[in-house]
C-alpha cells in the first residue's frame, strides 16, 4: 500500500513538472529594454507577455541554439490574432506596431527532441 502511494505521488510530481512551460511577464528596464535567456524544453514552449498600448512600437530579436516555431499573438475574445508567425527559426528580428491596447505575447515552441537555448531582446 505504501509503495503504491509512493509511486502515485512520484508520477504526479513527474507529470506536473513535465507539463511545465515558461510564461514570463515583460518587465521593461529604465532604458525601455527587456532581455531574457531561457532554455525551451523538448515539446514545450516559452512565452513572454505584456500589456502594450495602441501606437506603441516594439523592436524584437531573438537567437536560438536550434529551430523553434515562433509567433507574436494577442487574444480578441476567443480568437487569437497573429501579427507574426513563422516556423523552424533559429533567429529572427522585426518590429511590432501595436494596433490595439492588448496583452501581446512572443511565443516559441520547441518541436525537437532536445532543449533549445533562447536569447531574446525587446526594445520600446
Residue identified by cell 520600446 is 124
Output the DSSP codes for 34-51.
Answer: EEEEEEE-TT-EEEEEEE
pLDDT of residue 4: 44
Number of residues written out for the chain: 124
pLDDT of residue 82: 98
In a domain, 101, yes or no: yes
pLDDT of residue 22: 75
In a domain, 2, yes or no: no
124 is written with which cell numbers? Answer: 520600446
Residue identified by cell 515562433 is 70
In a domain, 3, yes or no: no
In a domain, 112, yes or no: yes
Phi, psi of 26 (to 5 degrees): -70, 125
In a domain, 8, yes or no: no
67 is written with which cell numbers? Answer: 529551430
pLDDT of residue 16: 35
Output the DSSP codes for 106-118.
Answer: EEEE--SSS-EEE
SS3 at position 63: strand
Domain count, the chain: 1
In a domain, 4, yes or no: no
d(Cα 21, Cα 59) in Å, to the nearest integer? Answer: 24
d(Cα 10, Cα 17) in Å, to the nearest integer? Answer: 11
In a domain, 51, yes or no: yes
- The pLDDT tens digits along the chain (124 residues) read 544 444 343 333 333 334 447 789 999 999 999 999 999 999 999 999 999 999 999 999 999 999 999 999 999 999 999 999 999 999 999 999 999 999 999 999 999 999 999 999 999 9
SS3 at position 112: coil
Domain that holds residue 28: 21-123
State the CATH number of the domain containing residue 60.
2.60.120.680
In a domain, 7, yes or no: no
Amino acid at each position: 500500500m505504501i509503495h503504491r502511494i509512493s509511486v502515485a505521488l512520484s508520477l504526479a510530481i513527474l507529470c506536473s513538472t513535465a507539463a511545465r512551460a515558461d510564461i514570463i511577464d515583460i518587465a521593461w528596464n529604465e532604458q525601455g529594454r527587456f532581455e531574457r535567456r531561457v532554455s525551451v524544453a523538448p515539446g514545450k514552449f516559452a512565452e513572454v507577455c505584456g500589456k502594450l498600448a495602441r501606437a506603441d512600437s516594439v523592436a524584437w530579436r531573438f537567437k536560438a541554439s536550434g529551430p523553434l516555431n515562433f509567433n507574436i499573438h494577442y487574444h480578441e475574445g476567443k480568437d487569437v490574432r497573429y501579427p507574426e508567425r513563422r516556423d523552424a527559426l533559429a533567429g529572427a528580428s522585426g518590429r511590432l506596431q501595436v494596433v490595439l491596447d492588448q496583452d501581446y505575447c512572443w511565443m516559441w515552441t520547441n518541436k525537437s527532441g532536445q532543449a533549445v537555448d533562447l536569447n531574446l531582446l525587446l526594445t520600446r
